[in-house]
Every structure is written in C-alpha cells, then in structure tokens.
Amino acid sequence: MSPFFLCSGKAGYRSGRTKALDTLIRLEAAYPEAKCALLHADPFQLLIATILSAQCTDVRVNQVTPLLFRCYPDAARLAAASKPEIEEIIHSTGFFRSKAKNLIACAKSLVDRHNGEVPDELLKLIALSGVGRKTANVLLGNAFDIPGMVVDTHVKRIVYRLGWTEQRDPVKVEKALSRLLPEEKWTKASHTLIFHGRAVCKAPTPECSLCCVVKSCPQNGVKRWR
C-alpha cells in the first residue's frame, strides 16, 4: 500500500477534509470518554499539571499534584516556594530539577505579569517558563473552552499513520491539522487521538486488528509482515 497524505497538496483537499472528519467521527464513537486525563480544579492547576506531564504519564502526575496543590494552592505561594521543597514533591515525575525551576519561574511570571491569573491567550501562555505550544493549547481547550489543537507524541504518530499529514515537526503538524479539521473539533480531536494512541495505535507496533478505522488507514510508517 502506497502512502498518501491528505494535507500534502491542494488537489482533492476538500475530499481529504471529508475523509479525515469521517475517520475522526468513527474514532470519537469508539472513545466517547476521551477527555483531559490530568486532574485539575482550575486553570492554574491544569497549567502546573501539564508542565509536570512532560516525559511523564498522566497517572503519575495525578499522584503527585494533590500534595503539590495543597502546599501551593495558587501562583503567589508557588512563586515564593523553595526549589528543594518543590523537587522533593515532584521527584517521581522525572526531570524534577528543571521542572521545579520552571514551575517557580512560571508562577513568578503569573504574579508579576498577570496578577496571579493564568492568561487565556496563546502568545501570553507560551511566554511563560516551561510552556510550549502543546501546553498552551491544552490550557486553551480545557481551561478556557477555546479551540486548541494539541500535538503530543501520540497525535503526531497517529496522524502520520492515517495519512492526514506528512509533516513530522509538532508545530507544522498542528498547523496542518488546524487546516484539515473544523475548529470546533480541535480540542476533542486531540483527546480522541491520544486515547486511540494509548489503547490501539501504539508505538512502535500498533494493534491494527483492533482498530476501528483500519480499512481507511494507509498505515504509513508501520512495518507490515508477510
């Protein structure tokens, strides 16, 4: 089967959008429970949890954040925290030294620039320490109900396999998907694809026999054995 990419050119682009949306709708039906897995009560908690989730499972982050939020319930208290204290609490999330540094710096920026509140604009979010486009889009979509196309390792892998885009750089993937999918689908699509990546379309070997969209998938980059 030859690879094809829906986002690779103008020819047939409308048809490509229809095919991608049809695939997404089938995936949504397979994962109706798909949502943000990071436990949080407000935008500040989601911001901190998302920063901690880098190179770490959501399950582990959810085990760590209850104590962290009890000790540091807002930006002002986190900004005044000592780095060793934060490191001790978040140690099990990995890269704890850099994460602790970013958390404190991020909290200080919130206090100094935004009166301790989390901004709801992409450019203001990515200006915070430890916050990239992925984290910013998580915040936009899940804390502020503003469409955000989150591209993590699962999303990047799956949309390449599905032939939705040949791009591999996360920012280029985000832009391609934002053109391909309706804006109102961005946030939900991210969760759905992440759930599918964890359950079926795994790395390095997907369980294609269990996949609900395998018939329409070119399986780009997937090793097929004869």
pLDDT, tens digit, 9 for 90 and up, residues 193-221: 999 999 999 999 999 999 999 999 999 98
CA distance 26 to 217: 12
| CATH assignment, 13-30+149-216 | 1.10.1670.10
Query: Is 134 tagged catalytic?
Result: yes
Residue 10 has pLDDT above 70, yes or no: no
Q: What percent of the chain is predicted at pLDDT more than 90? A: 90
- Return all residues near 62 (Cβ < 8 A) that are at least 6 apart: 37, 38, 39, 49
Average pLDDT in the 33-46 region?
Answer: 98
Catalytic member of 19, 99, 134, 156: 134
| CATH assignment, 43-143 | 1.10.340.30
Each residue of 71-90: pLDDT tens digit? Answer: 999 999 999 999 999 999 99
Each residue of 125-160: pLDDT tens digit? Answer: 999 999 999 999 999 999 999 999 999 999 999 999
Residue 164 has pLDDT above 70, yes or no: yes
Parse the chain into domains and list their residue ranges. Answer: 13-30+149-216, 43-143
pLDDT score at 224: 64
pLDDT score at 12: 55
Average pLDDT in the 107-116 region?
Answer: 98
Average pLDDT in the 172-188 region?
Answer: 97
Residue 1 has pLDDT above 60, yes or no: no
What pTM was computed for the model? Answer: 0.91
Residue 15 has pLDDT above 80, yes or no: no
Q: What confidence category does residue 16 fall into, taking pLDDT thresholds of 50, 70 and 90?
A: confident
Query: Is 145 tagged catalytic?
Result: no
Residue 223 has pLDDT above 80, yes or no: no
Catalytic member of 58, 74, 120, 152: 152
